[in-house]
Amino acid sequence: MVLDALIKIKNKSDPTLTFWRSCWEGICNSCAMNIDGVNTLACLKRINQESDLDVKIYPLPHMYIIKDLVPDMTRFYKQYKSIQPFLKNNNHPKEGEFLQSPEDHKKPDGMYECILCACCSTSCPSYL
């Protein structure tokens, strides 16, 4: 995986190379970057061992860069918060929590698996 290669470079060649990583499983969002022109997670991107081509790695586009491959996510999170991506309901239950049936739980399947890595947002040419 690209993340393994980055760790090897940091440990053996360039200890100043800076990037985020955490879970190695594609669920934490920390290793999002642009690899060979595609925004993706470095922990999930395989390196083609049969290719002679170099792997080109860049930070996520349209983001301010803190250092090397580390983007400043402040603006992204502010924009996310500004759209208020949560349910609102003025009819609070008298006690306890809002109950959800198994059928209602299945309705948004495929729409809530976002890990907030910013790969899709920063892929847009007009993202600012």
- 87-112 burial code (b ≥16 CB/10 A, e <16): eeeeeeeeeeeeeeeeeeeeeeeeee
Taking the CB of residue 126, how many other CB atoms lie within 10 A of it?
Answer: 5
Alpha helices in the chain (DSSP H): 2-12, 74-82, 102-106, 119-123
67 phi, psi to nearest 5 deg: -170, 140
Give 40's strand partners.
33
pLDDT at residue 111, rounded to an integer: 66
Query: Which tens digit of pLDDT belongs to each residue from 73-110?
Result: 999 999 989 988 777 778 877 888 878 889 988 887 77
Q: Please state which architecture CATH assigns to domain 2-123.
A: Roll (3.10)
How high is the mean pLDDT in each 10-residue block of the chain (128 residues)? 97 98 90 97 94 94 97 94 81 80 82 86 86
pTM score above 0.85: no
CA angle 106, 87, 127 (to 5 degrees): 95
Helix (H, G, I), strand (E, B) or coil at 8: helix
Q: For the sheet containing 57-58, what is the strand order? A: 38-41, 32-35, 57-58
- 3-32 burial code (b ≥16 CB/10 A, e <16): beebbeebeeeeeeeebbbeebeeebbbbb
DSSP 88: -
